[in-house]
Structure formats: C-alpha cells, structure tokens
Amino acid sequence: MEAGRLWTAICGIHREARKTETKWPNRDALRSVSKGTQFALHSQTIQAVVECFVTTIDTTKLLRKTHPQMGMRYPWKEKRFYPLMWPAQAVHVEATRIVLPMGRGRKSLVIPRPTGFPDTPGGIRLCWNGAGYDLHMAVEAPTEAQSQATGGVHATVDLGEIHQAAIATNTGKALVISGRGIRSIKRYRNVALGQILRLRSRCEKGSWRYKRLGWTISRIMHRTLRQVRDLRHKGTRKAIDFCVANAVSSIYVGNPDGVRKRPSGRKHNQRMSQWEYGKDRQYLEEKSRKAGMECFNGTERGTSSHCPSCGHRHRPKGRKWACKKCGFRGHRDVVGAVNMHPLAYGEKIAFPSQITYRRAGITQGTKQPLRSARRSRPDPGLGTSGPVLSRFATGPTTQIAGSPQGLGQAEGLHLEAHPL
C-alpha cells in the first residue's frame, strides 16, 4: 500500500504537468519529490518505483508514435497496491534467512532462506498474486548448452487444444502429448465461476457475502492458473526430452493463430479463447535453446487438411484422419506435424511408423466443494489457497517478521527465479 501511495503521488505530479502543458518532470525531479520520510520505504525501493514509472512513460511515448491506432494512454490511474522492489545491493542473504530492508528506523522484512537460494541474487520483488505472496528474483541466465545433435534430424510440432503437442521427426518417430488434463481444469473453472457469479448476482454489491464470493473467485482463478501452468511445463518438458533422445537439431513450431479466429459456436469459441498456445511456443523455445537445439516458428496453413500420402484435400472429423482417395489412416495431429516438414525444411517425409502417447501429468485436488468455500471466511490479505509448489517453495507457512503492513503469516510463499 505504501508503494501504491508513492506511485499515485508521482503519477499525479506527471498528470498535472500534462494538463497544464508545462515541462514534464524527469527522473531526478520525481526522485527529489519522493525523498524524505513521507513514504515508509527503503530509499532504493523508492528509486525502483520511480524508475518503473519513468520507463512506463518512455514506452508509452514510443508506442504513441509508432502505433497510434493502439490509443495508448499515459499513466493516470491511482494504485492502491504496488510491488515492493529491492536492487541486488539492498538484499542481505544470511545463512538461514533473507533480510529485506524497509528504511532507517523501521524493521526489515525477514524471510527464512529456502534450500537452493543463491548467495548473491539479483534484484528482488515482492508481489501479491491474489491468493498469496510471490517473491520474484533475478538470476544470471545460464550459458546455453552446445548442440550435441549430429546429422540432419529435424522435428515439427503441431500445437493443439485437445492434444497439447504432436511431434514428428524425419526418422520415422512421433510423439503425441495429451492436453485433456488442461481442458478439464479449465472446464471446472468455467463451471465454478458460473455458479458463483449466479450467487453473486443476487447479493447486494459491497455486502459481506458479495465480498466472500469475490475472494472465492480469486482463489479458484489462481489455483487453476497454477495447475495449468504446471501441466504446460510438464508437457513441453516431455516434448523436449523426446527431441533430445532422438538427437534432433532443429524444431519447427507451427503457428495456429488462424484456427483460433475461426467462429465455431459459443462453447468451442470459449475453448479457443482460453487456448494459451503462445505459452507453449514460449516454453518450447526456452527449453530447446537450453538443450542446444534451434527452434523457429512459421505457418501451418493447410497442414491438417491434406493427406500426407497422396495430397488429397479433406476436412477430417474426430481424431483420425481417413483419406477418401487412397485409404490412408492416421492420427490427425500427427498428420499436421508431418505436413509441416515441406513448409519448414522443404522435404516430404513418410508417415511415422512409431507413435508414442504421453500425458503431461495429473493434478490432484482440482475440484473442491463450493459449499465449504462459501461457508468459510477467507482472509482478504493473506493466502487462501494451498501451498504453491515451485523450485523455491518454503513450505505451507512462512513467517515474515517486522512488516509495517502486517504481513504476518504468508501461506505458500512462492519464489520465482527470472533470468536477466
């Protein structure tokens, strides 16, 4: 809240300068305004907030010139909350704890040091994700591994909503990763939100029951978000492991943007709008780069509607591709991956003789009774979901001592490492 008050103050100064058409305050002018004891924050935290505001102004100014059709606005909205940030020189890492200073005369935030936490981390940011606290940490990106693949083994990836990915190599092998676990989680979320919104529509806005249902919505949204993200990481990891095992040197990922824009009814349009294929592309690019493989994107237009054997065009139904001209039969998504090879590498390959099927993973505890969520009273300021599983998970409960905002018990504190 204190960082939000700081953002609102400097935003108001800049907004007033724009209204009166006077000289806009620069970085030094905004820092001078925020100096002193009017904000209960560390001096370098104040500088970090000012730096973020100045960067936002510069980015908006550039986008207004290069993309005027976007209608970008300069910062104008008041913020009640804003993340706390500390640069690397302000973070103190001890043997058993992490100390984040809050300024002279105020108690520091003390967090138990989890296993695997580096001795010299980069900048740290404390955020609230709606259901718990996240500690984002900047670390040095590892050196990319050198490619160990020999020969011209290539692979193409056909992304899908039912099957997360279908991979076909030019050596006669293929892998299909199911995405039905992700579909089921999203379906549960849509049904649960529909039930809660119907209950909320009968409540008076601002009442205690209205707020409780709002907290329940936030808890369900963030829990399912973590579950979907976990399954996406597991699925893309299986895809990269398959490519490494088959000595693949180059991966081509199709762009299914055209499929998403096709109108196909209310329910299917909802599934398409919630299909996060951009995340799959991002995860595949990052994981393949670390494994020493080249990864690039391109079109996949017409790959799912042409027979890989005779080239006859046919719109398939279901998950099996059956050619009416030559009698070919095969998996629909694998057909799409096979037909990408001429687009990506200029060579036509035979349909894979060995197809492996895998599931991304099983997420337990997806469904929870809605009745218990309505009866219980969640804490609006602390975590209401279960522990967050991550590389630096500290356990079900983490004590944050000395917080001026009364953080108290932060359930499921989640620490993420972001490469610089």
The answer to whether residue 377 is domain-embedded is: no
Q: Name the residue type at position 336.
A: G
Residue 412, phi then psi, degrees to nearest 5: 65, 50
pLDDT at res. 146: 44
Shared domain for 222 and 315, answered yes or no, is yes
Shared domain for 161 and 58, answered yes or no, is no
Shared domain for 53 and 196, answered yes or no, is no
- Alpha helix positions (H), 264-393: 266-273, 277-290, 332-338, 340-345, 370-375
Range of the domain at 234: 154-359
The three-class DSSP label of residue 105 is coil
User: In sequence order, what are the residues at sequence separation of 6 or more whose Cβ sits closer than 8 angstroms to the Cβ of residue 307?
Assistant: 313, 314, 321, 323, 325, 326, 328, 335
Shared domain for 342 and 237, answered yes or no, is yes
The answer to whether residue 158 is domain-embedded is: yes
DSSP state of 328: -
pLDDT at res. 210: 95
User: In sequence order, what are the residues at sequence separation of 6 or more whose Cβ sits closer than 8 angstroms to the Cβ of residue 37?
Assistant: none
Residues 285 and 275 sit within 8 Å (Cβ to Cβ)? no
Tally the domains of the chain.
2
Q: In what order do the strands lie in the sheet with 109-112?
A: 92-93, 97-100, 109-112
Look at residues 49, 70, 91 and tell me which one is the last residue of a structural domain: 70
Shared domain for 159 and 275, answered yes or no, is yes
The answer to whether residue 144 is domain-embedded is: no
Residue 236, phi then psi, degrees to nearest 5: -70, -30
Shared domain for 62 and 158, answered yes or no, is no
The answer to whether residue 88 is domain-embedded is: no
Shared domain for 165 and 262, answered yes or no, is yes
- Could you please report the per-residue DSSP string of 126-158? EEE-SSSEEEEEEEPPPPPPPP---S--EEEEE
The answer to whether residue 85 is domain-embedded is: no
Shared domain for 266 and 170, answered yes or no, is yes
The answer to whether residue 398 is domain-embedded is: no
Q: What is the pLDDT along the chain (420 residues), one digit of tens a residue?
A: 999 999 999 999 999 999 999 999 999 999 888 887 789 999 999 999 999 999 999 999 999 999 888 889 999 989 989 999 999 999 999 999 999 999 888 999 999 998 888 888 888 999 987 667 888 988 876 654 444 444 489 999 999 999 999 999 999 999 999 999 999 999 999 999 999 999 999 999 999 999 999 999 989 998 999 899 999 999 999 999 999 999 999 999 999 887 777 777 888 888 888 999 999 999 999 999 999 999 999 888 888 888 988 988 888 888 888 998 898 999 999 999 999 999 999 899 999 999 999 987 754 444 444 443 444 443 333 333 333 333 333 333 333 333 333 333 333 444 555 444
pLDDT at res. 38: 85
Shared domain for 188 and 332, answered yes or no, is yes
pLDDT at res. 93: 92
Shared domain for 194 and 64, answered yes or no, is no
Residues 296 and 340 sit within 8 Å (Cβ to Cβ)? no
Residues 175 and 355 sit within 8 Å (Cβ to Cβ)? yes
pLDDT at res. 143: 54
Rounded Cα–Cα distance for residues 269 and 273 (Å):
6
The answer to whether residue 120 is domain-embedded is: no
The answer to whether the pTM exceeds 0.85 is no
